[in-house]
Each structure stands twice: as structure tokens, then as C-alpha cells.
Amino acid sequence: MEGSILDKKNVKVLLLEGFARQCLPMMESLHKAGYYVATYNEKKTDVGYLSHYPDKRIIGFWDRKDEEKSAAAVLEAVKKEHYDVTIPLTDFSATLLSRRKDEFDKYTHAAVNDWPIFYMAADKQNTMNVCMDNNIPCPKTLRKADSLEDVLSAGLEYPFVIKPRIGYGSNGFRRIDNEEDLRKYFDANVKKYGPMIVQEYIPQTDIQYKCEVFIDGNGEVKSAYVFDKVRWYPIDGGSTCCGTSVDRPDIIESSVKLLKAIGWRGYGDIDLIQDPRESIAKIMEINPRITGSVKICIYSGVDFARQVVEYETGREVTPYLDYPKGVCLRYLHTDLLWFFKSPDRFRAKPSWFSWKHSIDQIWNPRDPLPWFGYTIQGIARLFKEKEKRKR
């Protein structure tokens, strides 16, 4: 698609994966801005289906194990009813669109980077190589870890970690304390998750961070938002369940430098960890799609949803160059699990019992139904996992 769309009232936006929690703030923001919003859902219990914000709710085929059929179903939906912008909300949909960007761009503006740049960001090994080549703080990382022999011959000091080069959350993450662990887990993880990245273990005694950045077509930074990850689940390394906006210009500098080094455009999310041995925030990975963390940004007035649509439709991207500090985002569904598992449950800062200046990932009194659908789906997944373990 070519050209600039100037009248936002005529702009139609399709949000993929209506089950994703980041769908909630994206829908609300775009609805308030006056855009036509449609959601692509797998089930009627998806938050994108239950919310009152979408103008249209689509139930369509979606299977992470069948990328080709899922892509064909989305393409058919896009062809059937014209959408100016299609926004992916998970790694699966972002990868699906980026691989086929030329095809989708005939009918819609696919809000993803071109595949070579997308893959550069999605592959953690590529990300670490760019960091090391550009003196951007990151964990010490092996440049070659194709086999067990590569790792054994590298002489990396224990403990270190192995994790999938492409993946999300804590899936496949393993701390290696000795050679026995390495021999036990490396090949098994490669078989299950694909190629591994191998890097030093940074003690989990300090704070983790996220930095959300938007870079326009001219390479100008239009927004940058940093918040700390004070609690995460699983507690040995997982997704954020509580975070607070903070002032960290050093983190913004590192994150922007990395994204510009790979030629990134649009919205990008960076994960970092503070190394307590050096008091330096080190980059861990790039998340090349909209994340659940976008809610704290939009709530704070940094509207990434509007920026994405403005950028994809050829309009001037609105800058949001400041944000309030001390705003807290909680994900109560997993923050409860953190409370039950963590020995720091009564020493947490901010207090687990405080909701001052806080919002929840899912609950919204202006749009309550999605919370119930999301909770029902979460319980169903829990029982499904228990049944798998019994077999």
C-alpha cells in the first residue's frame, strides 16, 4: 500500500491475537483516538472479543504450530475487509507478518520491520553480537555456541546460562553450575528449543528493567520509557508481574544505540538487567513486537498505539519525550503466584499490599468483561498443564 492517510476517522486497524493482554490498552487507546478497531480472536473468551472497545470482532483460525494456515487465515481476513494497519501482538504473529511482509503490504500496512532487521532483533545471539561490536553494555556472551564442544572449549567460567536464541519468557532458560549440568542440559535444550545462546550468569540480586522506544522513519526517537521489574514470575527468571516507571537516561542511551545500530524502525522493547557487581544495566534482548508492558506507557501518556498507526499510515509521529515517574504496573494473576513462592513477600518494595499509583495489566473498571475471560482461560491452561504432567 502506498501513500499517506490523513483522516484518522477513516483509518481501520486490525489487532491480531485478541487473547494477548497487550490487546487491552491498544484497543482502548485506538478507540479513544477515533480509529476503527477490529480484533482477530481465537475464542469468544479472548479479551479482544469480550471488550466493548472493538468495532468488529473476528473469530478465525489460529495455531502456533501451523504458521502457514494461520497466515493464510489472517490474509483472507485482511483481503475480505480492508484494514489500513495490521498490528501483531506476540512473537508468533510478528514473525508471521515479517516473513510475509511483502505479501501482506499489498493489502495492509503490516506493523513489523522487514525480515532481515526483524530477525536481527529476534535472535538473541545477533543482538549480543551487535552490542559487543558497538560497546553497548551486555553480558559476556560466546559468539559461537553451535555445539557442546564449542561451549566446553570456550573456557567460560561457571556459573553461566543457556537459553534459546529465539524465544520469550523463561522457556528454555537454564543456569549451568558445572560441566555435569552442561552435558545434561545443553543438547536436550537444543533438541527441544533450537539453537542456544551461552552467556555469563548475572546474579539475580538487583533490578531488571524494560525500555520501550519508538523510532520514526527518519531515525528520530519519538519516545523512550523506562521502568524497573521489581518482581517477576517464575521468581528464578520470568515475565514482569510488577514494575515502576523510573528515570534512567543511561538505559535509554544504550537501548536507542542498539536499535539504531540494527536499523530498527517503529516500536521496540528492550530487556535489561542491572549487574550488581558493576552497577551497570546490561541489555539482555530485544522484543520485536508490542509487549504487555505497553499498558504502563499508555497509561502514563506515552501512547505507543497511536504512534504505531501514525507511522504506518505515513503521518507525522507524535512525540512523547517525558513521562511521570513512580507509576506502577501490576499483573495480579502472576503477582499472586510470586507472593506464594517468594521468600521476600513481606519485604517487597513497593509493598505487595500497596496499590498506590498502580494499575493492573488486565483489570479495567471501564471495560470489566475481559478480566473474567482472561481468568477463565488462565484456569483452563492451568488444568491442561496438570493433565499433561499426569500422562
Residue 6's pLDDT band, with cuts at 50, 70 and 90, is very low
Report whether 338 contacts 232 (CB < 8 A). yes
Question: What pLDDT, in 10s, does the model give residues 369-378?
Answer: 999 999 999 8
306, 326: one domain: yes
The confidence band for 191, taking pLDDT boundaries of 50, 70 and 90, is very high
Domain end, chosen from 97, 112, 127, is at 112
Does one domain contain both 145 and 82?
no
Where residue 94 sits, what CATH number does that domain have? 3.40.50.20
- Residues 287 and 324 placed together within one structural domain of the fold: yes
pLDDT at 105: 97
Q: What is the mean pLDDT of the chain?
A: 92
Give the pLDDT score at 190.
94
For residues 147-159, give the mean pLDDT. Answer: 92
Both 189 and 228 in a single domain?
Answer: no
- 284-336: pLDDT as tens digits: 999 999 999 999 999 999 999 999 999 999 999 999 999 999 999 999 999 99
pLDDT surpassing 90 at residue 46 = yes
DSSP for 84-106, written as a single string: SEEE--SHHHHHHHHHTHHHHTT
Answer with the one of 166, 184, 200 that is the final residue of a domain. 200
Domain count, the chain: 3
Q: Does residue 213 have a pLDDT over 80?
A: yes
CA–CA dist 113, 126 (Å, integer):
16
Residue type present at position 315 = R
Mean per-residue pLDDT for 233-255?
Answer: 90
Domain boundary among 112, 132, 157: 112
Task: Point out the least confidently predicted range of 6-10, 29-33, 101-105, 293-297.
Answer: 6-10
134 in any annotated domain? no
268: CATH:
3.30.470.20
The pLDDT of 181-201, averaged and rounded, is 94
Q: Do both 239 and 344 map to the same domain?
A: yes
Predicted local confidence at residue 9, as pLDDT: 61
Both 266 and 334 in one domain: the answer is: yes
Question: Which one, of 133, 304, 115, 313, lies nearest residue 225 by Cα?
Answer: 304
Question: What mean pLDDT do residues 10-26 have?
Answer: 96
Q: Is the pLDDT of residue 4 over 80?
A: no
Question: Which pLDDT band, with edges at 50, 70 and 90, does 232 fall under?
Answer: confident
Residues 213, 336: one domain? Answer: yes
Segment 141-166 mean pLDDT? 93
Whether residue 388 is contained in a domain is answered as no
Rg, Å, the chain Cα set: 21
pLDDT of 119 over the 60 cut: yes
Mean predicted confidence (pLDDT) in 248-253: 98
* CATH code of the domain covering residue 181: 3.30.1490.20
Domain boundaries, position 331: 208-360
